[in-house]
Amino acid sequence: MPAANQHAVAAFFKGDTNFPFKGKISVTAEKIVCRTSNVDITARSCEVTFKTKKQTLNGREANDLFATESVAGVASDGAAGSNFESLSKLNCTLAPAQLKQKAGGGAECSYEAAN
């Protein structure tokens, strides 16, 4: 994703809808796997796999992504002190002009349950 799009998406997720951007933004990921611990409540991590690289998030960034997955309806799974949420084939289109209206529109996303 181009740097300008990255900055716009970051601004939107910080609640700044006044970020200047025209057009639509596409956000895709091959797979996202997030893990939290129900033993060590400070343990939070997510691995995001893109077509050409992987990125690992920890701490607050991972917690925010885990929470976003929960709100979006991604099912949780648990095993031996861990909670997992994972998805694949994420494809989102963000329309900044609609997001600025704060009327519930401006984001269309699809994903599949991860295997």
By C-alpha distance, which of 54, 94, 111 is closest to 46?
Answer: 54
What's the confidence (pLDDT) of residue 100? 87
Q: What is the pLDDT of residue 32?
A: 95
Give the pLDDT confidence score for residue 115 in this predicted structure: 63
Indicate whether this model's pTM tops 0.85. no
The list of the chain residues with pLDDT below 50 reads none
Spatial contact of 62 and 44, defined as CB atoms under 8 Å apart: yes
Residues 6+ apart with CB under 8 A from 95: 24, 105, 106, 107
At 63 the pLDDT is 92
Distances in Å between the Cα of 94 and the Cα atoms of 9, 41, 43, 68 are 8, 32, 30, 15
- Residue 38's pLDDT is 85
What DSSP state is assigned to residue 101? Answer: H
